[in-house]
């Protein structure tokens, strides 16, 4: 079971991406790979990495552009350069300036190696909950009205990918239709009671997919085999975030509830929860707006206490209800 993922682990999934490297290092890498002082004029080298040679200039303008820093390096070419040189993916990590999905904008500065920990689990849990990854454009999206959860998602994404989100405020829903009201630059600018959407570039999704598998594509969400194999710290994060988004606590009914449209997702979460020694009740269903919804409850003082102490929640509103529930049962005992 891996607890960290570096470029060596994920580079096969990034072949369509582009990378910006420290220029001094990049020149050393290209010279070493070409075994030539003028790589852009080395016809044999140009053929090996499939870069055209301008016959009039007797030079590859593409390679020249990389070495001068005004062209980003396609990941597919970087793979070849690493194979032909004495440099490693660790060297690339240490000289990384940014990654992006293609030639357009959307740069991120991820911190390699990426830890398989609670924070990455939280990001995955929020995407499975109130977030998504766009099926066509693969942009990462998270939506909520709770600033605590928005800040948590933003903070963890910043720590992993080195990028802040584009923050958009939604208008108050009108007959089921919700428009984007305006873009803001921090959470303090968000009007009270409005929902907020956080947007991240495609390259974030590509990296998440390389580690977690295709766990969220449009309306299709699932717990992949890759996720199931990850460590207990990651699973704590994914449970907690998913519960913050899709869970509820009712001290009057003495229940903690997870609910979702997908029965298979809930089944996998019961397995994760059981790994912490917490018992869950059977999955049941109900109809809402002509649609079947699924849920399972966690009941009993011992199970409440273990969930609160081992996993917990970020929402202060949920946390308050959690403490109320535990104290209510304790006092009754």
Q: What is the mean pLDDT of residues 274-292?
A: 92
How many C-beta atoms lie closer than 10 Å to residue 2's C-beta? 12
174-227 pLDDT tens trace: 666 678 999 999 999 999 889 999 999 999 999 999 999 999 998 899 999 999
Q: Which residues pair with 142 in a beta bridge?
A: 131, 198
- Domains along the chain? 18-100 (no CATH), 114-222 (3.10.28.10), 241-332 (3.10.28.10)
Cα→Cα distances 88→19, 85, 128, 243, Å? 15, 8, 35, 41
Which residues have CB under 8 Å from 305's CB, separation 6+?
326
Tell me the pLDDT tens digit for each residue of 118-177.
Answer: 999 999 999 999 999 999 889 999 999 999 999 999 999 999 999 999 999 998 776 666
pLDDT at 78 over 80: yes
Q: Write out the two tokens for 264.
A: 């298979």
The dihedral sign for the CA sequence 8, 9, 13, 18:
negative
Query: pLDDT tens digits, residue range 23-47?
Result: 999 999 999 999 999 999 999 999 9
List Cα–Cα distances, 289 to 213, 221, 282, in angstroms.
Answer: 32, 21, 23
Tell me the C-alpha distance between 10 and 162, whole Å. Answer: 17
Interatomic CA distance for residues 46 and 34, integer angstroms: 9
Confidence of residue 98 (pLDDT cuts 50, 70, 90): very high
Predicted confidence band of residue 289 (pLDDT cuts 50, 70, 90): confident
- Contacts made by residues 48-56, CB under 8 angstroms, sequence distance 24+: 48/80, 48/84, 49/77, 49/80, 49/81, 49/84, 50/77, 51/77
Half-sphere exposure of 76 (CA within 13 A, CB side): 8
Q: Which pTM was predicted?
A: 0.94
Q: What pLDDT is recorded for position 193?
A: 85
């Amino acid at each position: 079971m891996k607890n960290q993922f570096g470029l060596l682990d994920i580079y096969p999934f990034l072949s369509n991406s582009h990378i910006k490297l420290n220029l001094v290092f990049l020149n050393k890498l290209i010279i070493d790979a070409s075994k030539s002082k003028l790589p852009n004029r080395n016809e044999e080298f140009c053929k090996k990495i499939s870069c055209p040679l301008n016959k009039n200039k007797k030079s590859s303008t593409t390679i020249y552009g990389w070495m001068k820093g005004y062209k980003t390096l396609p990941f597919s070419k970087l793979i070849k350069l690493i194979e032909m040189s004495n440099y490693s993916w660790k060297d690339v990590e240490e000289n990384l300036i940014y990654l992006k999905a293609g030639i357009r904008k959307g740069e991120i500065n991820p911190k390699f190696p990426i830890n398989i920990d609670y924070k990455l689990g939280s990001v995955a849990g929020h995407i499975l909950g109130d977030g998504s990854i766009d099926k066509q454009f693969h942009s990462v999206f998270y939506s909520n009205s709770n600033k605590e959860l928005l800040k948590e998602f933003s903070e963890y994404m910043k720590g992993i990918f080195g990028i802040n989100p584009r923050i958009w405020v939604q208008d108050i829903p009108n007959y089921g239709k919700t428009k984007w009201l305006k873009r803001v630059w921090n959470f303090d600018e968000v009007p009270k009671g409005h929902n907020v959407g956080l947007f991240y570039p495609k390259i974030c999704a590509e990296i998440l997919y390389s580690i977690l598998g295709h766990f969220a594509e449009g309306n299709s969400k699932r717990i992949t085999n890759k996720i199931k194999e990850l460590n207990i710290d990651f699973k704590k994060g994914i449970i907690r975030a998913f519960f913050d988004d899709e869970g509820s606590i009712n001290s009057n009914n003495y229940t903690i509830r997870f609910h979702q449209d997908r029965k298979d997702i809930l089944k996998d979460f019961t397995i994760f929860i059981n790994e912490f020694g917490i018992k869950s009740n059977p999955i049941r269903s109900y109809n809402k707006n002509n649609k079947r919804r699924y849920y399972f409850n966690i009941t009993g003082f011992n199970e409440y206490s273990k969930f609160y102490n081992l996993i917990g929640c970020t929402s202060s509103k949920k946390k308050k209800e959690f403490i109320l529930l535990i104290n209510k049962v304790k006092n009754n005992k």
